[in-house]
Structure 1
Amino acid sequence: MKNVVALIATAALAAQGASAHYIFHQTLAKGTAKGVPYEPVFPDLRCNVGGATGGNTSTLELNAGDPFTFTLDTAVYHQGPISLYLSKAPGTAAEYDGSGDWFKINDWAPVFNGGQASWTMKDTYSYTVPKCIANGEYLLRIQSLAIHNPGSTPQWYVGCGQIKVSGGGSGSPSPTVKIPGAFKATDPGYTANIYNNFHSYTVPGPSVFTC
């Protein structure tokens, strides 16, 4: 299959390394479904490191501004934020270990209304490649941070892909972070109790970069 997206990570529980409850198993780009091999990211939480790389992976070619959609095998059913990150590879995405700088391009955070919080828990998550980022190859990361069990270590569900961006600009994404390192156990969004006095929420990690 040509242009098979390298969505090479399934969900992994960061603390226990247990089997996943749901996985990011497919992506849609330009209306065409792409096949997906898998790679658990435990224990590093970093794309292309700490898991067994799936077979038949390749890099998906996209233009800056193009839409893409991650799909799951079942809808997300644990409360918590969903975030998207990009990291520019120094060479090819396939050879990149994800140790460079990462920047966030979107958060699906809770919406508060009438004293209640609602989370975006779906089986598809769509967004677009930022129009201003530089041409080149990137790792594209989606992560679900499940905080449905206060007092216990949150669960991480991560999917990663390899993309090659054309038609971009000269933007310098900021702020940037390292993964691991971007998320700390002391982050309010990491330790939040969603069942008690829950009226606001800050998604862990950096602020979202916009062009």
Structure 2
Amino acid sequence: MFNNTVTEQWEYVRNITAGFAADDALAQDQYMPYYDIYDANIRCGRGAATSGPGTRTATVLAGDEVGFVVGRSADEPLEPYIIYHNGPGQAYLSRSPTDDLDGYEGDAEWFKIAYLGPKNDSYWLTRDQTGMNFILPRTTPPGKYILRVEHLYVRPAFNTTQFYIACAQIEVLGPGGGSPGPLVKFPGAYNLSDPGKLCHRCAAGP
């Protein structure tokens, strides 16, 4: 979503491939979550790092609101599609080192631009929402970026956190002036020992 318009599915968002449910090998769907935080697919979802060709690039102004809407749910085939899992939502940007954004696989640095955490002790800001909206920082340096959004379904068992990830292609216009940071890489930003995200008996929190 940009310019207050919900665009066509996969128009500006890199397409992903189908995956399997962790607890049902027969359940195969494009909207299944991802689990392996040490694999390159954690950048943009299954197969999406290389699915840039054919994806359009949205031109956005630094300081504007952008967002992602829920395309569909593997478990709920009827609209309205909502985020029904408990967990945080986050957004990252990674600037392409060249003008060839289609060919950029997101293997350079990323920086976080938004975080949606707990609303209270038992409820998350993302819960029951139809998507996630956030503001591009006004001082974001102009350039071509992959815009990454993720929602984490934080589960009580160790190493079962579900990642719902999508990446859009954008070109940011604006005065710049900012120095983004801290910088991370995917994979590498998360470890299984991280408290509150990936460990067992995780609490509601960042």
5+ residue gaps, structure 1: 24-41, 204-211
Which residue, out of 8, 13, 17, partners 1:7?
13
Q: CA deviation at 1:99?
A: 0.7
Structure 2: distance between partners of 1:55 and 1:79:
33
Q: What residue number does 1:144 align with? A: 151
Q: Which amino acid aligns with 1:137?
A: K
**Where in structure 1 do 4 or more consecutive aligned residues deviate above 4 Å?**
9-18, 20-23
Q: Which amino acid aligns with 2:106?
A: G
Q: What residue number does 2:118 align with? A: 110
- 1:189-209 alpha-carbon deviations (Å, 9 max, x no partner): 222525xxx4x62x3xxxxxx
Q: CA deviation at 1:147?
A: 1.2
Q: CA deviation at 1:129?
A: 1.4
Structure 1: distance between partners of 2:43 and 2:54:
20
- 1:45-91 alpha-carbon deviations (Å, 9 max, x no partner): 12388446277411100111111121103211111111000001112
Q: What residue number does 1:99 align with? A: 107
TM-score, normalization: structure 1?
A: 0.71
Answer whether contact 1:49 1:97 (CA < 8 A) is retained.
no
Which residue, out of 44, 48, 52, partners 1:47?
44
Secondary structure in 1 matching 2:102: helix
Q: Which amino acid aligns with 1:167?
A: G
Q: Which amino acid aligns with 1:19?
A: D
Are 2:193 and 1:186 equivalent residues in the alignment?
yes
Q: Which stretch of structure 1 is more off in the superposition, 52-61 or 118-127?
A: 52-61
Q: What residue number does 1:19 align with? A: 29
Percent of counterpart pairs with the same letter? 32
Q: CA deviation at 1:171?
A: 0.7
Structure 2: distance between partners of 1:86 and 1:134:
11
Q: What residue number does 1:126 align with? A: 133
5+ residue gaps, structure 2: 1-6, 34-38, 73-80
TM-score, normalization: structure 2?
A: 0.73
* Compared CA separation, residues 152 and 12, structure 1 to 2 (3 A): farther
Structure 2: distance between partners of 1:192 and 1:5:
37
Answer whether contact 1:138 1:163 (CA < 8 A) is retained.
yes
Answer whether contact 2:88 2:152 (CA < 8 A) is retained.
yes
Q: Which amino acid aligns with 2:14?
A: I
Structure 2: distance between partners of 1:146 and 1:127:
20
Q: What residue number does 2:66 align with? A: 68
The aligned length equals: 176
Structure 1: distance between partners of 2:86 and 2:16:
18
Secondary structure in 1 matching 2:42: coil
Secondary structure in 2 matching 1:44: helix
* Compared CA separation, residues 12 and 179, structure 1 to 2 (3 A): farther
Q: Which stretch of structure 1 is more off in the superposition, 163-172 or 132-141?
A: 163-172
- What root-mean-square deviation, in Å, do the aligned CA atoms of Structure 1 and Structure 2 show? 3.2
Q: Which amino acid aligns with 1:96?
A: Y
Q: What residue number does 1:58 align with? A: 56
Answer whether contact 1:8 1:57 (CA < 8 A) is retained.
yes
